């Protein structure tokens, strides 16, 4: 049997931890990782006593975005990132989600983490929305969630330049969530989860639904616009050349 690339474990009463652990592919969004993440969140949705979710990675990696194969499939028009709604799993989850982003968050992997209700970064880790480095415009709701979570100025800088930032660099830029040494991120997330799990589940669900209601209403239109931008920017020969060259490094 193949080793699961997502581990789902209730680590304390009402607290479930989702650990992405595809070490072979450094937590890129392979089909296996995507399917297991979707299944994990479906299990959480159907487990009525749970109160809070922690999502984390392994060692130096949180999540690394699209695989070379998936990006080439988008280039060739075979698929769209919107075909599988991975990006808003955390936002759509009825209970609060904490992204314990202890390791690198790259491209769609960083965006995936940013949709959580609480975000914790690692000082030593790198975070980037590197879509434009490949020559195509951002997807996965990046153009919506980054301005919401980071502020317009920093979000525009990250999206347009596709530069990489250490967690410590983002902390200096004034991001509004904790940045801790990598080996302290998960313990901080568990402490926060304990604070949340002390509250009644029905109240947590009710308040989260209210807090994310506007985002849930607005995101589909943003995704539609990002797909339209992909139609304009993704299918140029330069994009294929960049995908092949950059994955070869």
209 within domain boundaries: no
The active-site residue, picked from 25, 104, 230, 236, is 230
Q: Is residue 74 part of a domain?
A: yes
- CA 66 centroid distance within chain: 11
- Asked, for residue 230, whether it belongs to a domain, the answer is no
The end-to-end CA distance of the chain, in Å, is 32
Residue range 26-48, pLDDT digits in tens: 999 999 999 999 999 999 999 99
Asked if the structure places residue 48 within a domain, the reply is yes
Alpha-carbon gap, residue 163 to 236, rounded angstroms: 22
Tell whether the model's pLDDT for residue 249 goes beyond 80: no
Measured between alpha carbons, how far is residue 18 from residues 7, 10, 240 in Å?
A: 6, 9, 33
Instruction: Express each pLDDT in 64-122 by its tens digit.
Output: 999 999 999 999 999 998 898 998 999 999 999 999 999 999 999 999 999 999 999 99
Closest CA to 225 of 114, 136, 129, 143: 143
pLDDT exceeding 70 applies to what percent of the chain?
98
Pairing of β 164-166 and β 126-128: antiparallel
99 part of a folded domain:
yes
**Which of 14, 55, 19 lies closest to 204, judged by CA?**
14
Q: Determine contact, residues 104/64, Cβ cutoff 8 Å.
A: yes
The CATH number of the domain holding residue 111 is: 3.90.226.10
Q: Is 248's pLDDT higher than 80?
A: no
pLDDT of residue 88: 92
Q: What's the CA gap between 16 and 68, in Å, rounded?
A: 31
Strand order in the sheet with 61-63: 61-63, 104-106, 126-128, 164-166
Q: What is the pLDDT of residue 1?
A: 57
Listed residue (85, 64, 67) closest to 31, CA to CA: 67
Neighbour-count burial of 215, counting CB atoms closer than 10 A to its CB (0-12 exposed, 13-18 middle, 19+ buried): middle
Q: Does the residue 214 lie in any domain?
A: no
Whether residue 155 is contained in a domain is answered as: yes
- 25: annotated active-site residue: no
Per the structure, the count of domains in the chain is: 1
Q: What range defines the domain where residue 175 resides?
A: 6-182
Residue range 203-213: mean pLDDT, rounded: 98
Verdict on whether the full-model pTM lies above 0.85: yes
């Amino acid at each position: 049997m193949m080793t699961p690339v997502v581990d789902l474990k209730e680590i304390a009463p009402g607290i479930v931890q989702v650990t992405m652990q595809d070490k072979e592919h450094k937590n890129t969004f392979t089909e296996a990782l995507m399917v297991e993440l979707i299944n994990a969140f479906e299990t959480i949705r159907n487990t009525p006593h749970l109160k809070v979710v922690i999502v984390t990675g392994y060692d130096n990696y949180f999540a690394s975005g699209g695989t070379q194969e998936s990006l080439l499939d988008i280039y060739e028009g075979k698929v769209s990132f919107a075909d599988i709604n991975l990006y808003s799993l955390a936002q759509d989850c009825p209970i609060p989600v904490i992204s314990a982003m202890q390791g690198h968050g790259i491209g769609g992997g960083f965006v995936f983490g940013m949709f959580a209700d609480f975000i914790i970064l690692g000082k030593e880790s790198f975070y980037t929305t590197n879509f434009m480095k490949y020559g195509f415009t951002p997807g996965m709701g990046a153009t919506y969630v980054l301005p919401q979570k980071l502020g317009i100025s920093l979000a525009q800088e990250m999206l347009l330049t596709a530069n990489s930032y250490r967690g410590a660099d983002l902390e200096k830029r004034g991001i509004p969530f904790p940045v801790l040494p990598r080996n302290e991120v998960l313990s901080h997330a568990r402490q926060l989860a304990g604070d949340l799990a002390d509250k009644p589940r029905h109240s947590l669900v009710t308040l989260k639904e209210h807090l994310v209601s506007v985002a849930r209403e607005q995101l589909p239109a943003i995704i539609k616009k990002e797909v339209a931008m992909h139609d304009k920017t993704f299918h140029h020969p330069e994009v294929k050349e960049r995908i092949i060259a950059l994955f070869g490094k």
